[in-house]
Chain A
Amino acid sequence: MRPIIITIMLAALLATLPSGCTGAEWRTAHAIRTAGTATDRALAAAALRDHDRCKAAHKAQTKGYADCMSKSKAWAALQKWRKYIRPGINSGLAVAVAAFQIAERVKGGKADWKKLLSPSACGLARAAAEWKDQLGDAAQLIAVATAWIIVATCQGGE
């Protein structure tokens, strides 16, 4: 194939990329979602291990079981994750994805993906810091998905 043809093909290929899209925003959002799913699974597995232990020691639907589970850090973590952190990450991802799409439709538009993804990434980073002993392999995925965060951006409730 002639180099000129290849160069034209290369230019045509690059032209198919959406405006302002380098891919970093989509890759990072996807990495956050993947790490979040792994976190959900890890916390679920840890809580179920305690459930099995408590169920074996006490019968289900007894005060003994309830007391046993009330001491489970994994169960407390899963409840907090489902009630506050996971919904927060999901809202942040939905807003960011919508903003990325809008930016693609605007000629020369560019979304500030780091700012848009910071709330979700900070939520995950906080989960990793709080429950790192229960996250297993998910902790590594979180570390990769949030490596770009500047710690200062996570302060102030984001």
Chain B
Amino acid sequence: MMLSSMAAALSAAIEGLEEQLAELKKLRAEMIANPKIDGAAGDEAADTITDSMPKDQQ
């Protein structure tokens, strides 16, 4: 009885660790593929504003 409850607790702990490991592997892969900030919003806003400036200030 005691052994089976210990096994259940260990099994749950392993499941938790597996989830954490999977999440960590995902973060790592994402960062290796592209470590940069996604600057699309800032670039698009800057383009919109610059295009609205008088021609001599663009």
Can you list, as one digit per residue, whether each of B18-58 has a CB less than 8 Å from chain A (1) or not (0)? 10110010011011100111111111111011011111010
Q: Which of A17, A23, A36, A101 contacts B32 (CB 8 A)?
A: A101
Return the chain B residue nearest A85 by Cβ: B37
- Chain A nearest CB: distance from B1 CB in Å? 13
Q: Is A144 an interface residue (CB 8 A)?
A: no
Q: Do the beta carbons of B42 and A3 come within 8 Å of each other?
A: no
- Residues from chain A with a CB closer than 8 A to the CB of B31 are 26, 29-30, 33, 93, 97
Once the chains are docked, how many angstroms separate the CA of A3 from the CA of B55? 74
CB within 8 Å of B: which A2-40 residues: 2-3, 6-7, 9-10, 13-14, 16-17, 23, 26-27, 29-30, 33, 36-37, 39-40
Q: Which of B3, B20, B41, B43 contacts A3 (CB 8 A)?
A: B3
How many chain B residues have a CB neighbour from A under 8 Å?
A: 37
A-B contact count (CB 8 A): 120
How many chain A residues have a CB neighbour from B under 8 Å?
A: 49
Q: Do the beta carbons of A47 and B35 come within 8 Å of each other?
A: no
- Residues from chain A with a CB closer than 8 A to the CB of B11 are 1, 6
* Contact of A55 with B45 at beta-carbon distance under 8 Å, contacts A7-B10, A90-B35 already known: no
Can you list, as one digit per residue, whether each of A34-51 has a CB less than 8 Å from chain B (1) or not (0)? 001101110111011001
Q: Do the beta carbons of B3 and A94 come within 8 Å of each other?
A: no
Ordered nearest first, which 5 A-B pairs have the shortest CB separation? A36-B37, A44-B45, A60-B52, A44-B41, A6-B10
* 25 examples of A-B residue contacts, CB within 8 angstroms: A1-B7, A3-B3, A6-B7, A23-B20, A26-B31, A27-B24, A27-B27, A33-B36, A36-B37, A37-B39, A39-B37, A40-B37, A40-B40, A41-B42, A45-B41, A55-B52, A60-B51, A61-B53, A62-B54, A66-B54, A78-B42, A78-B45, A82-B46, A89-B37, A93-B31
